[in-house]
Chain A
Amino acid sequence: MSKITFTINEQVLEVEDGTSVLEAALQNDIYIPHLCYHPELESRGACRLCVVEIDGRLVTACRTPVESGMVVRTNTPEVDQAVRPVVELLIANHHITCRGCPSSGNCQLQNLMAKLRIDRRRVRRLRVPEEELPLDTSPPCFDYDPNKCVLCGICIQTCEKIHGTSSLYFLNRGTDTRVAFYGDEARCASCLKCIERCPVGVLLPKQTGSTD
């Protein structure tokens, strides 16, 4: 494969042709916020957090292939003003009680907050959802916490990639959107890859050994 040279924040990088701007940055230890990206899956561009500036335009790094001579900026005020509120919105909407969360310490959102130095005072300006939705225990392979789900779609895409068709898909629209298990329980191969890849721990392993 041929190599391509481009610039990111004044740093000249050489990557393989066909690499996305996000992958190129991550390979070279340059952090660009992201939640819905997974190296083995096609980029959906759904979380909108990997916005960078190229030629004065804001584009998602995950869906933009690197081009020779391209000049990418990840740290301009324009990028920050676009992305920071989205992260803050997500945190305010996420029922941010990390205490007791099984993913705490291994959570992409926590990681994102630390990397972006999210200021809690700014988040507190936002309204938080009053309603706490119940855990969905109907899927055969996991229990689902709709309050914390960021709807990245990684679980859906993972299931599809491994099993040909996905047992999981989105349900409803707008703020009521959530991930739901569709169809045949017997079709779920219980590979549990969906749980493993969830960036924020909303897919909880079934408590099979529970005594009560």
Chain B
Amino acid sequence: MSDNLRTIIVCQGTGCVSGGAEQVYSLLQEEISRLNLSASVELKSTGCHGFCQRGPLVVVEPDGIFYSKVVPEDIPDIAQSFLPDGRPVERLFYFDTAINRPLTCYHDIPFYYKQQRLVLRNCGHINPESIDDYLDSGGYQTVRTALFDMSPEQIIEEVKRSGLRGLGGAGFPTGQKLEACYVEESDQKYVICNADEGDPGAFQDRSVLEGDPHAVIEGMIIAGYAVGADRGYVYVRAEYPLAVKRLKIAITQARERGFLGKGIFGSNFDFDVEIFQGAGAFVCGESTALVLSIEGKRGLPKPSPRPRTTMSGLWGKPTLLNNVKTFANIPLIIEHGSTWFASRGTENSKGTAIFSLTGNVVNSGLVEVAMGTRLREIIYDIGGGVPDGRAFKAVQTGGPSGGCLPAELLNLPVDFDSLTKAGSMMGSGGMVVMNQDTCMVDVARYFLDFTRRESCGQCIPCRVGTKQMYDILDDICRKQGRPGDIELLEELGQSIAKTSLCALGQSAPNPVLTTIRYFRDEYEAHIREGYCPAGVCLAYQ
């Protein structure tokens, strides 16, 4: 370790990079060397720090000084602040409008201190391209623990007891899945990490891969040991070039250090990971379609009843397939134990949930909270509420097939079961806030436009039904709605939900059914009274 007194962290997540963080980094580098500060100041790039709304972000540790919306013109002042008589750059502090004063450190900002960042513990703190940084934070130690101190059965038991459920959306108990794959007898098994995050507005899997790729690899190694697999794949979207790049670097580094490959840590356990890049079809995030995609086939979900992927997955072999965040949780459980893990969350949803908080919200960004946290706390306490004095209207959780929930449900705890009961779902973790200027018919149309385009086309209800629902919604938005359309949408939605071949089709009507359930008067205003209450649909102006 160096004797540096200060570390300047420049967030290099996709959000900050698109705001110019790469330039901020290189200018800071020049300025620090120009001022001969290199001995006392270390510059570090990290993955997503989470507060994407305020990017590019610069954090100074160990003080925790937090600079937001940093532009090239601010660099000289930031660098000057490290001179012996330098002072922090106050104009770049986060200004908390609730208490009407600037806050110096990120620990003081409600957006951060109201969160429980466990899976995201390293994101924004370590350099994702440096395995040494990861090792300094305790990385890969749980692999050693798992390989030498635990049997596969003990790992499975620990994960089962933790109550961890699959964080890709379905919420299947992870320990049970591990066990199902473990008990299969086979000469070959596989582990697949699903990073085909296709929901519009969702970026939590991307952020974990960009910010802490080694944690995902670590989770995959332990899972591989537990089920008896020696090969792993990360199925990641080609639209995530930065995640792919950092994951590649991480895999190479892990191989060089012997954490991947033959005889890990000198044990007799072999495990290696490859990246498979998806070609941009939403449906390939569905597990059976994903498996076919890796096999080089058309990504079509398999109809049930079918053997579970844990029995017959990739190339017909037992396969453990989990989401990025699920794998990232496994080292935590091994390190701290199942009791520690299960102390967070609700009775049936343990641990934390990560959301990409976006839309009409003051603080958009990456948020991790304990399961069971109320929607209101996420949107108001962490998210800072709805900006510009507008009123909250709805929040959509769970991606394009999630539901839109109204203000009356803001006290709903966020966990698998509560969201499903309210007509929405956890999904992979999208959370879009909408204000009073949003037309709920238009919103439903937007999401159905997405699902109808992304339907694999295999089964009739999803292929023809989502298109029909879209056409009806489009008619309503264009002042062509007909009496009976609301009932027709409900009838079609229920039928599509019951008959579609895969979970994507079954959940596709959710945005329509929930907007009718909670905002029926808006549909009626369009069709019967001839106006769009939010003033969005142009045909009514």
Contacts and interface: CB of A to CB of B under 8 A. Distances in A.
B461 A86 contact: yes
A81 B501 contact: no
Q: Which 4 A-B pairs have the closest CB atoms?
A: A177-B457, A45-B303, A85-B495, A127-B471
Most chain B CB atoms below 10 A, which of A58, A64, A172, A175: A175
A153 B495 CA distance: 22
B305 interface: yes
A81 B454 contact: no
A147 interface: no
Contacts of B453: 173-174
A47 B472 contact: no
Nearest to A58: B498
A127 B475 contact: yes
A176 interface: yes
Contacts of B304: 45, 59, 63
A82 B485 CA distance: 18
Contacts, number: 111
Interface stretch (A88-96, A157-165, A187-195): A88-96
Contacts of B466: 174
A60 B465 contact: no
Contacts of A86: 460-461, 464-465, 495, 499
A44 B454 contact: no
B252 to A, nearest CB: 34
Interface in B457-502: 457-461, 463-468, 471-472, 475, 482, 484-485, 488, 491-492, 494-496, 498-501
Interface string A29-72: 00000000000000011111101000000111001100000000
B480 to A, nearest CB: 9
A34 B475 CA distance: 31
A127 B499 contact: no
A177 B468 CA distance: 15
B298 interface: yes
A98 interface: no
B452 A174 contact: yes
B464 A89 contact: yes
A46 B464 CA distance: 12
27 contacts: A46-B303, A47-B460, A48-B459, A48-B500, A51-B498, A60-B303, A81-B495, A81-B498, A82-B495, A83-B499, A84-B495, A85-B465, A89-B465, A90-B460, A93-B464, A93-B468, A125-B488, A127-B468, A127-B472, A151-B458, A170-B298, A173-B283, A174-B452, A174-B456, A174-B467, A175-B467, A177-B463
B221 to A, nearest CB: 35
Interface string A98-133: 000000000000000000000000000111000000
Contact of B460 (A49, A125, A126): A49
B281 interface: yes
Interface in B294-322: 298, 303-305
B455 interface: yes
A46 B499 contact: no
Nearest to B484: A125
A51 B494 CA distance: 14
A128 B459 CA distance: 18
A48 B468 contact: no
A149 B10 CA distance: 55
B465 to A, nearest CB: 5
Contact of B455 (A51, A92, A175): A175
B228 to A, nearest CB: 30
Given A151-B463, A169-B298, A175-B455, 13 more contacts: A45-B304, A46-B458, A81-B491, A81-B494, A89-B460, A125-B482, A127-B475, A151-B460, A173-B453, A173-B456, A173-B457, A175-B452, A175-B463
B358 to A, nearest CB: 25
B454 A173 contact: yes
A34 to B, nearest CB: 12
A150 interface: yes
Contacts of A150: 460
Q: Interface SS of chain A: helix, strand, loop or mixed?
A: mixed
Interface in B250-306: 281, 283, 298, 303-305
B281 A173 contact: yes
Contacts of B459: 45-48
B305 A59 contact: yes
Contacts of A173: 281, 283, 453-457
A151 B457 contact: yes
Interface residues of A, number: 35
Contacts of A151: 457-458, 460, 463
Nearest to A128: B471
Contacts of A59: 304-305
A126 B468 contact: yes
B464 to A, nearest CB: 5
B303 A44 contact: yes
Contacts of A47: 459-460
B467 A48 contact: no
A92 B468 contact: yes
A35 to B, nearest CB: 8
B499 A90 contact: no
Contacts of A45: 303-304, 459, 501
Contacts of A92: 468
B305 A64 contact: yes
B457 A85 contact: no
Contacts of B475: 127
Given A45-B303, A64-B305, A81-B495, A170 B457 contact: yes
A90 B492 CA distance: 12
Nearest to A175: B467
A58 B494 CA distance: 13
Contact of B457 (A83, A126, A174): A174
Contact of A89 (B461, B485, B501): B461
B7 to A, nearest CB: 47
B449 to A, nearest CB: 10
A176 to B, nearest CB: 7
A54 B255 CA distance: 51
A176 B472 contact: no
Interface string A134-157: 000000000000000011000000
Interface string A171-183: 0111111000000
A120 to B, nearest CB: 15
- Max count, chain B CB within 10 A of own CB: residue among A47, A173, A176, A177: A173
Nearest to A178: B457
Contacts of A177: 456-458, 463
A46 B475 CA distance: 29
Contacts of B463: 151, 174-175, 177
